[in-house]
A and B are shown apart, each in its own frame.
Chain A
Amino acid sequence: AQKITQTQPGMFVQEKEAVTLDCTYDTSDQSYGLFWYKQPSSGEMIFLIYQGSYDEQNATEGRYSLNFQKARKSANLVISASQLGDSAMYFCAMREGSNNNDMRFGAGTRLTVKP
């Protein structure tokens, strides 16, 4: 079964607007970590933000925030004030406490920011 599901293959957003990229996950572990990565067309994977399963506050890093809803097992990435440079693939990933040397990735969402 898929551990990480990203249901939006592609998304468009107007420059300066906010956008939400969806991610749902499946685990029976109590301890786990959720990560978002950005992959520009050049190919490198850039770590953006982390949310721990025991963290009470939603994670924020600059224009990135994570809307963590534990009961619904969702960890959506919110990008505020989109910029043209935000156009990229975005991957959600999970690391489980019972097997924390491994990381599972979703299929990714391609975000395009329109001027």
Chain B
Amino acid sequence: DVKVTQSSRYLVKRTGEKVFLECVQDMDHENMFWYRQDPGLGLRLIYFSYDVKMKEKGDIPEGYSVSREKKERFSLILESASTNQTSMYLCASSFMDRVRQPQHFGDGTRLSIL
């Protein structure tokens, strides 16, 4: 079974802090993704990566950065957390160039910025 592991289920941080969300997958997937989920908006793509040290902006990259130093690990960084970044964050991974393959998700991190 594919396993995508996010480092925290719940996280509370303060405005202005630098926040790191970590994600690890064990299926040798090339692609990794960070989404943000808000009620009524579905999942919105923040960043994705198709290879080590490669990254592409998604729909809402402002205020975020990412790091992929190893194939299995993809980190989301909130450079200076703000209250409007309070949300559910989901990490996913998939094989590259396979339309039929689903993305596999972690359990999500519920992040609150106070």
Q: Are B99 and A95 in contact (CB under 8 A)?
A: yes
Report Cα–Cα, A51/B99, bound state, in Å: 10
Interface residues of A in 24-70 (CB under 8 A from B): 31-33, 35, 37, 42-45, 47, 50, 52
Inter-chain contacts of A84 with B (CB < 8 A)? none
Contact of A101 among B31, B88, B106, B108 (CB under 8 A): B31
Tell me if B73 is interfacial: C-beta within 8 Å of chain A: no
Inter-chain contacts of A106 with B (CB < 8 A)? 42
Given A101-B48, A106-B42, A107-B41, A33 and B99 touching (CB < 8 A)? yes
Q: Are A52 and B50 in contact (CB under 8 A)?
A: no
Q: Are B102 and A35 in contact (CB under 8 A)?
A: yes
Inter-chain contacts of B50 with A (CB < 8 A)? 101
Inter-chain contacts of B42 with A (CB < 8 A)? 4, 6, 91, 105-108
Contacts beyond the supplied A45-B105, A101-B94: 10 A-B pairs with Cβ under 8 Å = A4-B42, A43-B110, A52-B100, A97-B99, A101-B48, A101-B50, A105-B42, A105-B43, A107-B41, A107-B42
Give me the interface of A with B, judged by CB distance under 8 Å.
4, 6, 9, 31-33, 35, 37, 42-45, 47, 50, 52, 91, 95-97, 100-103, 105-108
